[in-house]
Structure 1
């Protein structure tokens, strides 16, 4: 089975199993795997949750923040999670004007 075009998922992907599932999907469909990591600090993330009225439990949030921080340190050190061809790291401030995803023609 193969398909063209990117697979795009809006997912925090702090869990290694989630990232692995996305890698497998890309591998099965023969699509390149590009991870776009948008770093948002814990305070900003919690504020965004409150604004949207979509709160997660405190324990879940603390675990998510810990996983996100470990992954952010890894990415900033120039290491990629297994299975990803390219990784782009941004902050929310860098994307204030949005993010445009393009694919080669």
Structure 2
């Protein structure tokens, strides 16, 4: 049950050959130099996310033109009015549903 720790101790207490010690010391120095170099490099930052794919449907273009012309946030009913659509529940819901999958305006 206690044989493994004893073996580990005997392995660690063996004398180290001078060439092996020199090689280990050289490797440790290389690691220190590499670490210092890497820490000195500027932070690359995160890459910019790709632009979202925008729909090319004509209704999307019309709705975006309405939002571009507006100087405040619009509700689906106001978009229907601006597009000269009948203010009917079906049209309001279609505008609301078609705009729900778009990317948010400030993100």
**TM-score of the two chains, using structure 1 as the length reference:** 0.26
Q: Which has the higher strand share?
A: 1
Which is higher, the Rg of structure 1 or of structure 2?
A: 2
Q: Which has the higher helix share?
A: 2
Structure with higher RCO (Cα < 8 A, 6+ apart): 1
**TM-score of the two chains, using structure 2 as the length reference:** 0.25
